[in-house]
C-alpha cells in the first residue's frame, strides 16, 4: 500500500533562512514522488518530481528534494525563503502498479515566512 506522511503540519521560517519540509513515504513498488504547492484560493502547482532518475531533484522557484530510499524520505528544501513561498505544500506518492495514475497525498505542511 502507498502512503505519505508529512511530519510537520506547520513550519515557520524567517525570510532569507533555509526551508525544510519533511516527507516520508511508504510504497510497495518503485515510487514516483512529487511535491505540489497550493497558494490561498488557488489550485495545486507542481514544484518537482522524482521518477527513478537522479536522486536530487531540482524544481521551480529554487526548491529541491532528495530521494533517500534507505530512509524512505523525500524532503523538500530551499536555501533561502522568500515571502512568496508562504503556502501549503503537499507531498505525493504514486507507483507503477497503479491504474489510472492514482496519487496518494499527504495532509500538507503550511509554510509561514516571517519578514
Partner 1 sequence: ETGVTQTPRHLVMGMTNKKSLKCEQHLGHNAMYWYKQSAKKPLELMFVYSLEERVENNSVPSRFSPECPNSSHLFLHLHTLQPEDSALYLCASSQEMAGGPYEQYFGPGTRLTVT
Count of alpha carbons within 13 Å of 46, Cβ hemisphere only? Answer: 9
Least separation, in Å, of the C-beta of 86 and partner 1?
A: 18
2 binds partner 1 (CB under 8 A): no
- Rounded to an integer, what distance in angstroms lies between the CA atom of residue 17 and that of residue 105? 27
Find the shortest distance in angstroms from Cβ 113 to partner 1. 22
Give least dist CB 14 to partner 1, A.
26
40 binds partner 1 (CB under 8 A): no
* Alpha-carbon dihedral 19, 82, 65, 38, rounded to 10 degrees: 110
Q: Which of residues 78-107 bind partner 1 (CB under 8 A)?
A: 90, 94-96, 98-107
Name which of 43 and 115 has its Cβ closer to partner 1.
43
Q: Are the C-beta atoms of residues 34 and 43 closer than 8 Å to each other?
A: no
Least CB distance from residue 89 to partner 1, whole Å? 13
Distance from C-alpha of 38 to C-alpha of 112, rounded to nearest angstrom:
13
Q: Examine residue 50 and tell whether it contacts partner 1 (CB under 8 A).
A: no
CA atoms of 71 and 56, how far apart (whole Å): 14
Q: Which residue is listed with cell 531540482?
A: 58
Query: In this complex, which beta carbon is closest to partner 1, that of residue 13 or of residue 93?
Result: 93
| Residues at the contact surface with partner 1, assessed by CB under 8 A | 32, 34, 36, 41-46, 49, 90, 94-96, 98-108
Amino acid at each position: 500500500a502507498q502512503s505519505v506522511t508529512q511530519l510537520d503540519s506547520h513550519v515557520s521560517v524567517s525570510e532569507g533562512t533555509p526551508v525544510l519540509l519533511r516527507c516520508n513515504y511508504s510504497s510497495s513498488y518503485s515510487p514516483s514522488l512529487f511535491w505540489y504547492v497550493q497558494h490561498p484560493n488557488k489550485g495545486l502547482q507542481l514544484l518537482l518530481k522524482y521518477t527513478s532518475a537522479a536522486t536530487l531533484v531540482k524544481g521551480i522557484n529554487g526548491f529541491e528534494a532528495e530521494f533517500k530510499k534507505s530512509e524512505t524520505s523525500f524532503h523538500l528544501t530551499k536555501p533561502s525563503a522568500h515571502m512568496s513561498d508562504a503556502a501549503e505544500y503537499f507531498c505525493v506518492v504514486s507507483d507503477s502498479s497503479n491504474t489510472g495514475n492514482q496519487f496518494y497525498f499527504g495532509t500538507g505542511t503550511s509554510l509561514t515566512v516571517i519578514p
